[in-house]
Amino acid sequence: MKNLHVFVLALLLSVSGLSVCYYKNSILHLPLSQEAHSPVWTVEAHVSYKAVKKSTKVKLMLPPKHPLGFDILDENFISGHHGLGIEKKNRQRIAQWTLRRPKGMQNLYYRLQLIPTEQSHEDNQPVSFPKKKQFSGLMQTAVESVLSDVRSKSADIKSFTHELLVKLNEKTPDDTVKLLKKGTTNSVAWVQRVIDILQGARIPARQVNILRLKDNLTHGQLTPWLEVHNGTSWMAFDPYSAHEGYPKNTLVWSIGTTPILSVKNSKHQKVDFSAYQQFQDKSMIALRKAQDNHSWALEFSLFNLPIQTQNVYRVLLMIPLGCVLMVFFRNLIGVKSFGTFMPILIALAFRETQLVWGIALFSLIIALGLLIRFYLEYLHLLLVPRLTSVLIIVIILMLVISLFSHKLGVERGLSIALFPMVILAMTIERMSLVWEEKGPIDAIQQCVGTLFLASCAYYVMNIPDLQYLIFVFPELLLVLLAITLVMGRYTGYRLVELWRFRALLKSPD
C-alpha cells in the first residue's frame, strides 16, 4: 500500500510538471532548445511631405493587427511635433498625424517588427456577389467573348480566375485582349481592369496591396495583387503570371483601392518602405508575445527576476539534477562516496576550476590535509577543536598553493580559492576516520567514488541545453522529484553487489 501511495504521488507530480511544460511549449511557443531562433522582420514606412502654411492632416494606411502569415511583435511611431491618432475601419487601421503650423519638409516614421507564424488570420466578413459589370461599346463585346472562352475551359472560380489571367497575359495577345488591356499603363490600373472583368462574371474580387520583404530593402513600394472569393475564403493570384498565392515573405499591407498615403495641404508627399531581417531567440519572442497577451504563466516566469538573481538560479536549478544523478549511482549502482551532497558541492567548484584542474587541486589538498590530520591524531584533540584545526590548515594550504601557482605563472592554480573550504575540511576528516576504521583501501575507494560522482554531476550540470530547459521550464523539477521518490522505494540489490556475489549466480556445474 505504501508503494502504491508513492507511485501515485510520483505520477501526479510528473503529470503536473509535464502539463505546465506542454502548455508553455505548445500554447506560449517557448522552445525546448536554446538554439531555436526565429526570423524577425523589421519594417519601416517613411512618410515625407513639404508643408504649406496651413495646418496639415496626414493619413497612412497600416497593416491589419493580425496580418496574414505574421504576428506583430512590436510597433511604434516617430511623430515629431505631430499629434497621433489611430482609426479602425473593419480590419484596416489608419494612422492620422496632425500639425497646426508646419514648416518646410516633414518626416514621419512607422516601424513594426514581424515574426512568421503558421496561424492563418482569415477575413470572415460576409461577401456578396457583385452585380454584373456593364461596359460600353466594343469593350462589352470583348469582355463577353473572353469570359465565354474562359468559362468553357474552367470548372470553378479558382480555375476560372487562373484561365482568365493566363488568357489576358498571353505573350502574343489577340485583338480582343489588346482592347481589354488598353489604358492599363500601370499595375494598379491593370488589377482594377481584371476586377472589372471578373465582376462581369459576378465573381467577388478585390485589390490587395502587398510589400515583398527582402533583407536590406530600401525605397520599397507596395505591389497591387489580386484576390477572388470562392464562396468560402479569399484566394490570391499574381495578376500577371496567374500563380496562386503570395510570394514568400509577403506582408499584406492594405486591402482596397484607397490611397496608402493622403496628406492635406501639402505637396511632394511620398512614402517609402524599408525592411531588414534578423534572428532572435524564440524564447524571448514567446515571452514578449505572452506578455502582450497577459498570460498567467508569465507572471511566475524566472525571466521577471533581476538579471543577477536569474544568474544565481541558473546555477541553483541544476543542483537537483546533479542530486538525482547521485541518487541513481548510490542507490542503484552502489558507488560509495563521502557525505550525502558533498560530490555535488565539489562539482559546483569544478564549474570555476574546470574538471582536470579541479580534480588535481582537490587531490592535492586532500593528500596534504590527510597527512597533517594524521599528525593531529597524536595530539588527542577534541572533535570541535580538531575540525577547526583542519579547517585552518586547509585555508593555509589553499593560500600556499595560490601563492606558488602565481609565482610559477600557473594562473589556473589561483582558482583553488573557489573550493568550499568547509567541504574540504569535512572530506579530510571523513577520509581519516574511514582510513582508521576500515583501512586505506576503503578510504581511497570512497575518495575515488566522490570524485567520480562529482565529475559526472559536473558534466550533466554543465550541459547548456539542460541548463536552458530547467531554467525556462522549472516545473520539470516536479518530474525530478517524482523520479527521486520512485528510486527512494528501491530496496533491491545494487549493481556492484551483483558483481560482488557473482559466484552465487554461477551454476553448480
Alpha helices in 152-245 (DSSP H): 157-168, 175-181, 187-200
Summarised one tens digit per residue, pLDDT across range 187-216 is 888 889 888 888 888 888 899 999 999 888
Q: Share the mean pLDDT of the chain.
A: 82
Confidence (pLDDT) at 478: 92
State how far the alpha carbon of 211 is from the alpha carbons of 162, 172, 224, 353, in Å.
22, 30, 9, 54
CB atoms within 10 A of CB 300: 10
The letter for the amino acid at 341 is F
**DSSP letter at 245?**
S
Grid coordinates representing 380 are 588527542
Print the SS3 string covering 467-492: HHHHHHCCCHHHHHHHHHHHHHCCCC
Segment 318-347 mean pLDDT = 85
The answer to whether the beta carbons of residues 167 and 149 sit under 8 Å apart is: yes
Closest to 28 (Cα-Cα) out of 280, 281, 283, 279: 283
Partners of 236 in the beta sheet? 227
As a whole-number percent, the residues of the chain with pLDDT over 90 amount to 8
Residue 236, C-beta contacts closer than 8 angstroms, at least 6 positions apart: 208, 225, 226, 227, 244, 245, 246
Task: Identify the band that residue 398 occupies on the pLDDT scale cut at 50, 70 and 90.
Answer: confident
CA distance 226 to 316: 57
Determine the distance from the C-alpha atom of residue 103 to the mean position of all C-alpha atoms in its chain, rounded to a whole number.
45
DSSP letters, 20-70, are HHHHHHHTS---SSTT-EEEEEEEEEEEEEEE-SS-EEEEEEE--SS-TTE
State CA 216 to chain mean position distance: 23
> Distance between CA atoms of 450 and 350, rounded to whole angstroms?
13
Q: What is the pLDDT of residues 236-264, one digit of tens each?
A: 999 988 898 898 889 999 888 888 888 88
What is the Cα 56 distance to its own chain's centre? Answer: 43
Span 409-453, pLDDT tens digits:
776 666 666 677 777 788 888 888 888 888 888 888 888 888 888
Regarding predicted confidence, which is higher, 51 or 22?
Answer: 22
Per-range mean pLDDT, top range of 11-25, 293-307, 365-379: 11-25
Q: Which residue has the cell 457583385?
A: 130
What single letter denotes the amino acid at residue 313?
A: Y
∠ CA 368-369-374, nearest 5°, is 105
CA nearest to 131, candidates 184, 204, 76: 204
- Give the tens place of pLDDT for each residue, 446-479: 888 888 888 898 899 888 888 888 888 888 999 9
| Set of cell numbers at residue 435 | 582510513
- Judged against a pLDDT cut of 80, whether residue 330 lies above it is answered with yes
45-66 per-residue burial string, b: 16 or more CB within 10 A, e: under 16: bbbbbebeeeebebbbbbbbee
Contact yes or no for 73/115 (Cβ under 8 A)? yes
**What pLDDT is stored for residue 87 in this prediction?**
86
- Rounded to 10°, the helix 157-168/138-151 angle is 130
More confident residue, 47 or 354: 47
pLDDT tens digit sequence for 2-49? 678 888 888 999 999 889 888 888 877 777 776 667 788 889 999 988
In this structure, are residues 220 and 273 in contact, taking their beta carbons and an 8 Å threshold?
yes
Alpha-carbon distance of 426 to 343, in angstroms, equals 12
Contact between 202 and 129 under an 8 Å Cβ cutoff? The reply is: yes
Q: What distance in Å separates the CA atoms of residue 270 and residue 261, rounded to the nearest whole number?
A: 7
As given in the structure block, the three cell numbers for residue 434 are 574511514
Judged by average pLDDT, the poorest of 24-28, 186-190, 228-232, 291-295 is 291-295
The sheet carrying 250-255 orders its strands as 234-237, 223-229, 205-212, 250-255
How many angstroms separate the CA atoms of 37 and 353, rounded?
32
Task: In whole angstroms, give the CA distance from residue 462 to residue 315.
Answer: 9
**Which pLDDT band holds residue 124 (cuts at 50, 70, 90)?**
low
Kind plus residue range of the DSSP H or E element containing 388: helix 383-408
Portion of the chain with pLDDT greater than 70, in percent: 89
Non-local CB neighbours of 31 within 8 Å, separated by 6+ positions: 25, 282, 283, 286
The set of cell numbers assigned to 314 is: 541558473
CA–CA distance, 274 with 211 (Å, rounded to integer): 10
Give the residue from 376, 371, 368, 374 showing the smallest Cα distance to 395.
Answer: 368
Contact yes or no for 319/344 (Cβ under 8 A): yes
